[in-house]
Amino acid sequence: MSTETVLERFLRYVKIDTQSKEDSDTYPSTSKQLDLLNLLDKELKELAVSQVELDKYGYVTGTIPSNVQARVPVLGLIAHVDTSPEATGADVKPQVISEYKGGDIVLPGDQSIVISESENPSLKLALGKSIVTSDGTTLLGADDKAGVAAVMTVVQELMKDPKIPHGEIKIGFTPDEEVGAGTKYFDIKKFGAEFAYTVDGDTPGELNKETFSANSCMVTVEGRDIHPGTAKNVMVNSVRVISEIIARLPKDISPETTEGYEPYIHPYVLEGGVGKSSVKILFRDFRTEGLDKLKKIVEGVVTEVQAMFPKAKIGMKVTEQYRNMREGVEKDTRVADYLFEGAKRAGLEPEWKPIRGGTDGSKLTEAGLPTPNVFTGGANFHGRMEWVNVWGMEKAVETVLNTLRIWAEKSK
């Protein structure tokens, strides 16, 4: 059986453009995600994984049979192939920096893009180790190809070494996580796992069993377009209206000013012209009931601005996205406890850290499959300053393998 390091896999995968797209009419949202999904289907079969399937939605699944006599709960390992719509994933040129010595990192493809040591405290964990960046013209794709590479390396190790004790393992690769649709057609019953882990985190040693609860909001403004030369008392400029709305959103509960368990309101996509404009806004709070408070804040802003522009037509629509996974994960503490012990056995000092975002695990847990999240070693996701600690990817592999062993040991 041919073998690859997690780094070698990662460098291959990031060169495949898998950027997803919001508001697409297809699933996956972009056909190019299938380039990697088809490859993973092929590689799982080459590794002699059982029941490998690429279904009509793009989900790639497979099974590694148990190699112990004890009844061990069936476990899933899941990662997503798509990269964020916020930065291009085409023609990624990964840069490997061996034995990082500290300091800022200027990226060669665009020297205005600098990974700052002061803004990246987890670089301290990379001192003397290898890290990977893009060249600065694209994102890197560590979110979540570092997770994909880690899961595939775990599969390789399990298939290569039958002495590693484990129960039945289900493998799953999903598209469209970055646009909130990673589990839209995922058949949990068919997948067959009782517990699962997403490998989709960041700093080595950080584990996640709680995420934001999340809603999205679309605010639209319909104005009245007319030639500016004859616009007096007739034109209603929707750009001005929507600008007033954005300007009145509270700045003390934005992503730029919050951390930890603090909620935020985040306007992130703005489109428009005189006749019609829109802004997409994210609501995030670890307390699901807090989402209503965020909604009311924006409703208050809309009401205030509507009074300023009575001839404009302002609409607001809120859509549920995902919910905090904590309650579902804590229904059976083994899934988190064994993961924590697995990280300790890897020589780490693990800590539970809330995700200021979401993973496929949020939806899966809500649907009845408890799915905490494992680090990958990456940082600065969704942008051109993204990077990954190779040691972190290696420790993710080790942590997952240890966790599988622990489940087998505890089931004797």
Residue 2 banded pLDDT, cuts 50, 70, 90: low
Q: Tell me which of 321, 338, 368 is where a domain ends.
A: 321
User: Do 297 and 245 fall within a single domain?
Assistant: yes
> How many structural domains are present in the chain?
2
Residue 1: predicted pLDDT: 58
Q: What are the pLDDT digits (tens) for 250-298?
A: 999 999 999 999 999 999 999 999 999 999 999 999 999 999 999 999 9
User: Do 328 and 314 fall within a single domain?
Assistant: no
The stretch 221-233 carries a mean pLDDT of 96
User: Do 70 and 176 fall within a single domain?
Assistant: yes
User: Do 128 and 267 fall within a single domain?
Assistant: no
Q: Are 272 and 239 in contact (CB under 8 A)?
A: yes
Q: What are the pLDDT digits (tens) for 378-400?
A: 999 999 999 999 999 999 999 99
82 a catalytic residue: yes
User: Do 332 and 309 fall within a single domain?
Assistant: no
Q: What are the pLDDT digits (tens) for 338-372?
A: 999 999 999 999 999 998 987 799 999 999 999 99
Q: Tell me which of 302, 321, 340 is where a domain ends.
A: 321
Kindly state whether residue 311 falls inside one of the protein's structural domains.
yes
> How do strand 114-115 and strand 195-199 relate by DSSP bridges?
unpaired
Residue 412: predicted pLDDT: 77
Q: Which domain holds residue 107?
A: 6-211+324-410
Residue 387 belongs to a domain with what CATH number? 3.40.630.10
User: Do 51 and 199 fall within a single domain?
Assistant: yes
Of 43, 168, 176, 177, the active-site residue reads 177
Q: Tell me which of 321, 347, 368 is where a domain ends.
A: 321
Q: What are the pLDDT digits (tens) for 79-108?
A: 999 999 999 999 999 999 999 999 999 999
Mean pLDDT of the chain, nearest integer: 96
Rounded-to-10 torsion of CA 7, 13, 14, 15: 120
Q: Are 102 and 398 in contact (CB under 8 A)?
A: no
User: Do 87 and 160 fall within a single domain?
Assistant: yes
User: Do 330 and 315 fall within a single domain?
Assistant: no
Q: What are the pLDDT digits (tens) for 10-43?
A: 999 999 999 999 889 999 999 999 999 999 999 9
User: Do 262 and 314 fall within a single domain?
Assistant: yes
Kindly state whether residue 1 falls inside one of the protein's structural domains.
no
User: Do 20 and 119 fall within a single domain?
Assistant: yes
Residue 368: predicted pLDDT: 96
The stretch 371-379 carries a mean pLDDT of 97
Residue 264 belongs to a domain with what CATH number? 3.30.70.360
Kindly state whether residue 375 falls inside one of the protein's structural domains.
yes
88-91, long-range: CB within 8 Å, 24+ apart, which pairs? Answer: 88/19, 88/137, 88/138, 88/139, 89/17, 89/18, 89/19, 89/138, 89/139, 89/141, 90/17, 90/19, 90/138, 91/17, 91/137, 91/138
**H or E element that contains 186:** none
Kindly state whether residue 124 falls inside one of the protein's structural domains.
yes
Of 17, 41, 43, 82, the active-site residue reads 82
Nearest C-alpha neighbor of 367 from the set 318, 328, 311, 332: 328
Give the integer Cα–Cα distance in Å for 360 and 376: 15
Give the integer Cα–Cα distance in Å for 178 and 58: 15
User: Do 90 and 134 fall within a single domain?
Assistant: yes
